[in-house]
Amino acid sequence: MASITLQNLVKKFGETVTAVAGVDLDVSDGEFMVVVGPSGCGKTTTLNMISGFEEPTSGTMLIGDRVVNHLEPGDRGLGMVFQDLALFPHMTVFENIAFGLRVDKIVDTEVKERVSKVATTMKISHLLSKKPAQCSGGEAQRVALARTIITQPQVLLMDEPLSSLDAKLRIEMRTELKRLHEELKSTFVYVTHDQAEAMTMADRIMVMDRGYVQQIDTPLGIYRKPTNQFVGTFFGQPTMNIIPGRVENGGSPKFVSEHFEMSFAADAIPGSSIGKEINLGVRSENVSIGDEGAAAEVRLIEPLGDETLVFFSCGNEEFLVAKVDAEREFSPGNQIRFGFLPGGMHFFDVESGVRLE
């Protein structure tokens, strides 16, 4: 069993820095868990505690049903891949991959067999006689993965392994990693600051901010029902529109902002938001442009190919953004009307940022 359990895991550096402020997490056997958040939120420190490179200040870590707090990194049954691939430059790709098996004094025939098999899985059989410097960034990344998975770890820990690759390769490697996970069926814990990477690869995502866990859920669960404004705006491209205003209930409920107001059906508005100052969060795909709604002026257009981003404003300099079908044509200066799809509105408390239900 290669499940991972973190119980109230805390890491402090000195008196003043709390890098990880009490993480509770259960990663199931075979799950692909992505830990995501902005720089400095504590993701690497969390991973380093699981791997054994950092000692927790307090809390308990289990791999399977074994407490591993005091085990050396090498005794935890983990494989690790980092952004810095640390391939041995003087060795061939074959010897780099075989390194762990050589250390364990595995016989030559078995080494050849296992390197050949893992090279086929990682599609790098043609590179085995090359040196790492003769490989492209993506190829070197695959070599580093092959070197780790050849030791058949039950848990694979990865810290920003794709961040040094260019955008196209990163996207290709995301697919590779998902395929690899399907094939190996081992437990993956993957750290990244990139929300798109988290969304596309994870079974579940743990979102962190300033050392605290913000939400643990499936990618769609997080996208559709962010637990607070931080999570809502961290995920999604373009960033979720956030509109400060007030929810009033004069007959039918309405949202009143400084520059426009809109009425809604009673069931589109959470009861706890009525009478409150809130931040209304709406993703661009949930903004409709049509014949009805509040008046606005188109300010900028960004064609994406299949869709178009329309930036508009309501008599102020704050832009809102709508994602529309590419066939619909808009130009700066167009007078439009806009509304919000009822299921696509998120009501966040102004003070705490917490989602109101």
**In the set 6, 9, 27, 41, which binds ligand ATP (CB under 6 A)?**
41
Give me the least distance between CB of 89 and ligand ATP, in Å please: 25
Residue 225 has which token pair? 């029902």
Q: CB of residue 201 vs ligand ATP: minimum separation in angstroms?
A: 17
Interface residue with ligand ATP among 45, 121, 141, 214 (CB under 6 A) is 45
Taking the C-alpha atoms of residue 114 and residue 98, their distance in angstroms, rounded to an integer, is 8
Question: 11-40 mask for ligand ATP (x: CB under 6 A)?
Answer: --x---x-x-----------------x-xx
Distance from C-alpha of 58 to C-alpha of 321, rounded to nearest angstrom: 45
Q: Which residues in 176-205 contact ligand ATP (CB under 6 A)? A: 193
> Helices (DSSP H) in the chain: which residue ranges?
43-51, 93-103, 108-121, 137-149, 167-184, 195-201, 219-224, 229-234
Amino acid at residue number 61: M
**The one segment of 42-50, 55-63, 64-72, 331-339 that binds ligand ATP by CB under 6 A:** 42-50
Q: Contact letters (x/-) for ligand ATP, 138-177, by CB under 6 A?
A: ----------------------------------------
The CB-of-75 to ligand ATP minimum distance in angstroms stands at 23
**Shortest approach of ligand ATP to residue 86 CB, angstroms?**
17
We find the least distance from the C-beta atom of residue 45 to ligand ATP, in angstroms, to be 3
In the list 6, 32, 34, 43, the residue contacting ligand ATP (rule: CB under 6 A) is: 43
Written as one string, the DSSP assignment of 85-146 is: ----TTS-HHHHHHHHHHHTT--HHHHHHHHHHHHHHTT-GGGTTS-GGGS-HHHHHHHHHH
Do 70 and 120 form a contact (C-beta atoms < 8 A)? no
Residue 42 contacts ligand ATP per CB under 6 A: yes
| Residue 100 sits in the site that holds ligand ATP (CB under 6 A) | no
Distance CA 338, CA 293 (A): 5
Contacts of 327 (CB under 8 A, 6+ apart): none
Q: Which of 10, 155, 2 lies closest to 69 in space, CA to CA? A: 10
- Contacts with ligand ATP, residue ranges (CB under 6 A): 13, 17, 19, 37, 39-45, 193
